[in-house]
Each structure stands twice: as structure tokens, then as C-alpha cells.
């Protein structure tokens, strides 16, 4: 899992002292199984959280989940379906799942991010739908970023580090 956005988030979280786990959903890369249109992939996300919870080097009382694009929708859904993640960081969630999840009561603190040049998600609709998400929530539109956030990886990673440090505690460093 070497996606530029995921790597930017991972690098900043690791620098702040957070343990991270990156994985491919079923049927992606070398992962076994076949794509399950989101149902099985939510199970994959929750299973990853459960695995992290069991690691000796992980403080299981400080678990969060982050996702990019399809992974962002899976992170939001996992937060809805599981009490394991105490915070959720969503980058460039696709408009369809974002619309559906905006009316669900995701109780965990959430950070919702979109690039203002996303090819599939008008900023006005993002701002409207973001208002429908339950509190606590934060949202940011990054100027000049498209869906792929090329050149904005460090900024997005820094936002993840600041968000999780604030919600879960930690040694946030903004460099």
C-alpha cells in the first residue's frame, strides 16, 4: 500500500509517535478474496482495528482510523459499525458514500477533507453534506488539491497528526 496520500498520513503519524497499519482491502494487490462492494471491506477495516488492539506496542484505548478515497468511506462506515475507533480521519471520500453517511450518527470525532479541485465532488455539496454529519466534526477544503492530493501529502499528513494528537493524545509535531 504505497499510495501517496496514505504514505503522507503514515509518515506524519509515525513521526508523532503513533503506530500505524496500512493494508489493502480484499482483492486489491496481493490481498486474497474478491471486492465485496464495501460490505466485506468494512469488515476488513474493523479486523485491522482489532489486530491493532491486540498489539503490545499499541495503546488500545487510543485507536483511530484514517482512510483515503474508497478507504475514507470504509473508515467512516467502520466508525459507525464499531466502537474500536475513537476518531476517524476521512480524505476525499467519494460523493455517494459521503452523502449516505452524512445522515448517519457517527459519534466519534471526525475530520473530513476534500480538495477544491476534486473531479467528482463539488465543494458546495461537500460543505452542505458536512453540515449533516453529527458533532464532533471538523472539515477542511484544501485549495488547489484534486482528488489525488499530489503535492499535498505532507499537509494532509500534518492535519492527520494534529487531529489524532488532539483527540487521542500524543506528541504532535507539525514539521
Summarize the confidence of residues 26-53 as an average pLDDT: 75
Query: pLDDT at residue 175 above 50?
Result: no
Asked whether residue 173 is assigned to any structural domain, the reply reads no
Predicted local distance difference test score (pLDDT) of residue 12: 97
Residue span of the structural domain in which 104 resides: 4-168
Taking only the tens place, the pLDDT of each residue in 81-109 is: 999 999 999 999 999 999 999 999 999 99
Return d(Cα 110, Cα 74) in angstroms, integer: 13
Q: List the CATH number of the domain containing 160.
A: 3.40.50.1820
Give, rounded to a whole angstrom, the gap between the first and last alpha carbons of the chain. Answer: 23
User: How far is C-alpha 112 from the geometric centre of its chain's CA atoms?
Assistant: 8
Asked whether residue 13 is assigned to any structural domain, the reply reads yes
The per-residue pLDDT of the chain, averaged, comes to 90
Return d(Cα 84, Cα 8) in angstroms, integer: 23
Predicted local distance difference test score (pLDDT) of residue 2: 80
Asked whether residue 123 is assigned to any structural domain, the reply reads yes
In contact, 140 and 110? CB cutoff 8 Å: no
Q: Is the peptide bond before 96 cis (omega within 30 degrees of 0)?
A: no
Asked whether residue 174 is assigned to any structural domain, the reply reads no
Predicted local distance difference test score (pLDDT) of residue 122: 97
Predicted local distance difference test score (pLDDT) of residue 174: 41
Q: Provide the domain count of the chain.
A: 1
Indicate the pLDDT class of residue 23, thresholds 50, 70 and 90: confident
The vertex-138 CA angle with 16 and 52, nearest 5°, equals 45
Asked whether residue 175 is assigned to any structural domain, the reply reads no
SS (H, E, C) 30-83: CCCCCCCCCHHHHHHHHHHHHHHHHCCCCCHHHCCEEEECHHHHHHHHHHHHCC
Predicted local distance difference test score (pLDDT) of residue 36: 54
Summarize the confidence of residues 117-143 as an average pLDDT: 97
Query: pLDDT at residue 172 above 60?
Result: no
Summarize the confidence of residues 51-74 as an average pLDDT: 94
How large a percentage of the chain has pLDDT more than 70? Answer: 87
Predicted local distance difference test score (pLDDT) of residue 82: 96
For CA atoms 164, 18, 161, 171, the dihedral sign is: positive
DSSP letter assigned to residue 27: T
Asked whether residue 83 is assigned to any structural domain, the reply reads yes
pTM, 2 dp: 0.91
Predicted local distance difference test score (pLDDT) of residue 93: 98
Predicted local distance difference test score (pLDDT) of residue 42: 93
Amino acid at each position: 500500500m504505497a499510495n501517496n496520500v496514505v504514505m503522507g498520513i503514515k509518515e506524519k503519524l509515525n513521526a508523532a509517535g503513533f503506530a500505524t497499519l496500512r493494508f489493502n482491502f480484499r482483492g486489491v494487490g496481493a490481498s486474497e478474496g474478491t471486492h465485496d462492494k464495501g460490505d466485506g471491506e468494512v469488515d476488513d477495516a474493523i479486523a485491522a482495528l482489532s489486530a491493532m488492539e491486540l498489539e503490545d506496542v499499541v495503546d488500545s484505548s487510543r485507536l483511530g482510523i484514517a482512510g483515503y478515497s474508497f478507504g475514507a468511506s470504509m473508515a467512516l462506515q467502520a466508525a459507525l459499525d464499531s466502537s474500536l475507533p475513537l476518531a476517524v480521519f476521512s480524505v476525499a471520500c467519494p460523493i455517494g458514500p459521503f452523502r449516505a453517511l452524512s445522515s448517519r450518527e457517527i459519534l466519534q470525532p471526525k475530520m473530513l477533507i476534500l480538495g477544491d479541485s476534486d473531479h467528482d465532488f463539488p465543494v458546495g455539496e461537500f460543505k452542505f453534506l458536512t453540515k449533516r454529519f453529527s458533532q464532533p466534526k471538523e472539515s477542511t477544503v484544501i485549495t488547489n488539491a484534486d482528488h489525488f492530493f499530489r503535492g499535498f501529502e505532507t499537509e494532509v499528513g500534518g492535519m492527520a497528526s494534529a487531529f489524532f494528537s488532539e483527540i487521542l493524545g500524543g506528541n504532535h509535531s507539525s514539521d
